[in-house]
């Protein structure tokens, strides 16, 4: 005869870990679902925001990308597995 013994606290710990993992994945792959409904893509950069994005951000992101490309350690854009 075998009896199954459930360890106390194992269920809630797994549930909390699962929720935290789901939130982490959502932040990376779908930030607009959590708190960032506004999105603007400039070149290879995507900016997310809580409020409408100021049109001037385009020139700032283009300037930042230019500085990045001029860096001696720049190796090219990173691939994102979506």
Per residue in 18-49, pLDDT (tens digit) is 888 888 887 777 766 667 788 888 877 788 88
| Residue 48: how many other CB atoms lie within 10 Å | 14
* The pLDDT of residue 75 is above 80: yes
Question: CA-CA distance, 6 to 4, in Å (whole number)?
Answer: 6
Per-residue pLDDT averaged across 38-66, rounded? 85
> With pLDDT > 70 as the criterion, what percentage of the chain qualifies?
78
Residues 78 and 31: their CA atoms lie apart, in Å, by 18
Indicate the SS3 state at residue 1: coil
Q: Give the model's pLDDT for residue 70.
A: 92
Whether the pLDDT of residue 9 is over 60: the answer is no
Q: Check residue 47 and give its pLDDT.
A: 83
pLDDT top residue among 40 and 81:
40
């Amino acid at each position: 005869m075998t009896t199954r013994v459930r360890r106390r606290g194992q269920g809630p710990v797994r549930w909390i870990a699962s929720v935290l993992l789901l939130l982490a994945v959502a932040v990376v792959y779908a930030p607009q679902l959590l708190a960032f409904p506004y999105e603007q893509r400039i070149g290879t950069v995507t900016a997310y925001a809580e409020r409408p994005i100021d049109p001037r951000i385009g020139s700032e992101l283009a300037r930042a990308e230019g500085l990045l490309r001029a860096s001696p350690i720049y190796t090219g854009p990173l691939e994102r597995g979506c």
